[in-house]
């Protein structure tokens, strides 16, 4: 498939997990991608993988902290320069921090919301002019199953993702007459930096019985990030042309 031939795509969180998988999926479909991430090493690996796949000629990268307003202004301008415009914005960047709510500090709360919710807002705001001047523009934001279903110890994360989901509905309505589509994906039970290793950072005294419902019905265990990347690629293409103002849950039936 070459659904992205001639399309210009800006992807955040591109140095790992779902963001990286989305970069490779869209490059494989002929798109031009500007990939950003706070991790310079992560971006280097993404670029090396694109080189090995023979798609690096259509990839540019830039280090970017999406919670920093000045950096976002500079980073989106660099993306517009590199791509010659933006047709699709994929806001995959995010962090997960877990703690008992009664032990959650204001600093932890603010950090999660600054990256996930405010960072998504800043990327949208600074990209809108280029998107509205682009070809069949689309924004794909990242919510989470935690926005609609209970995820213990993750109140800050859930609040940030619920905010992204609500904001996406508002954006879809506000800019619909200008041809912009805005869609959310809500991943769950997906392998990524957030869900493996020390990503979730669950408390030492975690009550694992509270997670009894959080198991995918399909297959064995969590799915790979490419599972979500394929849906994102569909939404940003003409195959998703009649989809806007909604969220698509990708969790293997974890939440019926």
Taking residue 164's Cβ as centre, other Cβ atoms within 10 Å add up to 25
Q: Distance between CA atoms of 15 and 192, rounded to whole angstroms? A: 11
Farthest-apart Cα atoms in the chain, separation: 51
* List of E strands, 47-196: 59-63, 88-91, 138-142, 181-187
CA contacts within 13 A on the Cβ side of 167: 22
User: For residue 145, how many C-alpha atoms fall within 13 Å in the half-sphere facing its CB?
Assistant: 21
CA atoms within 13 A on the CB side of 62: 21
Catalytic residues, by residue number, are: 157
Taking the C-alpha atoms of residue 193 and residue 215, their distance in angstroms, rounded to an integer, is 18
Cα separation, 170 vs 2, in Å, equals: 31
Cα–Cα dist 4/139, whole Å: 15
Rounded CA gap, 141 and 143, in Å?
6
Tokens of 212: 């009894």
Distance CA 91, CA 139 (A): 8
Distance CA 101, CA 108 (A): 11
């Amino acid at each position: 498939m070459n659904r992205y031939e001639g399309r210009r795509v800006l992807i955040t969180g591109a140095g790992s997990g779902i963001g990286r998988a989305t970069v490779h999926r869209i490059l494989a479909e002929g798109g031009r991608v500007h990939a950003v991430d706070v991790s310079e090493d992560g971006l280097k690996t993404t670029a090396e993988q694109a080189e090995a796949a023979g798609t690096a000629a259509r990839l540019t990268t830039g280090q970017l902290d999406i919670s920093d307003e000045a950096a976002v202004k500079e980073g989106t301008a660099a993306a517009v320069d590199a791509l010659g415009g933006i047709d699709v914005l994929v806001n995959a960047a995010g962090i997960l921090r877990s703690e008992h709510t009664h032990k959650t500090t204001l600093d932890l709360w603010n950090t999660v919301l600054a990256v996930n919710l405010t960072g998504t807002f800043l990327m949208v705001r600074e990209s809108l002019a280029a998107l509205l001047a682009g070809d069949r523009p689309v924004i794909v934001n990242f919510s989470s199953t935690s926005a609609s279903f209970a995820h213990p110890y993750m109140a800050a994360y859930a609040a940030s993702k619920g905010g992204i989901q609500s904001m996406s509905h508002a954006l879809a309505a506000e800019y619909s007459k200008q041809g912009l589509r805005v869609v959310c994906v809500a991943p769950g039970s997906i392998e990524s930096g957030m869900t493996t290793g020390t990503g979730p950072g669950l408390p030492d005294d975690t009550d694992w019985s509270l997670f009894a419902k959080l198991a995918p019905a399909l297959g064995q265990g969590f799915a790979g990030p490419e599972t979500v990347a394929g849906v994102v690629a569909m939404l940003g293409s003409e195959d998703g042309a009649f989809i806007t103002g909604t969220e698509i849950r990708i969790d293997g039936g974890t939440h019926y």
